[in-house]
Amino acid sequence: MRLVILDRDGVINEDSDAYIKSPDEWQAIPGSLEAIARLVHADFHVVVATNQSGIARQLFNVDMLNRIHSRMIDEIHHKGGEIDAIFFCPHGPNDHCRCRKPNIGLFEEIATRLKTNLSGTYAVGDSLRDIEAARAAQAIPVLVKTGKGLRTLTKASGLDSVAVFDDLAAFTSALLGGGLAVTP
């Protein structure tokens, strides 16, 4: 299975330190929805793995998160794309759960539910915790400069072997243009 795992905030949509708490606050990063459509048309499955601690912080509930995701999915469909599944962690940073990135739980759930090995799968994120989770799952970490990506690039260490792109559209162009290895 050709699979790409995407973080949500900062990769697909604009990030906010105040959290995305409603569908009205969700705004796509220019080119991200088209990039997802391009991946799908090139026979990649696309899933989202996202920390959503706003639930634990009581800034929004699961119903509101589903409404936010419905808007995202509708906009992706409008551009001709598809998201196969969305995996999210509702816990806060002090909950010590297994699913909150940089922990591996979301990636294990993806592998189990999709009955696939994540080795060779690209995982695109904008933070060090995205990179660490991808590495722990044997996926190939990719950093984009959108969202918190520039800050991650300047402040984090251990990113020497991580491919860095301006945004999801640039990553997609490199992947589909043969600039990155693709495993079946």
- The residues assigned a catalytic role are 7, 9
Which of these, 171, 159, 158, lies nearest to 122 by C-alpha position?
171
Which of these, 109, 96, 116, lies nearest to 48 by C-alpha position?
109
Per residue in 139-151, is it b (16+ CB within 10 Å) or e — as a string? bbbbbbbbbbbee
Say if CB 76 and CB 31 are below 8 A apart: no
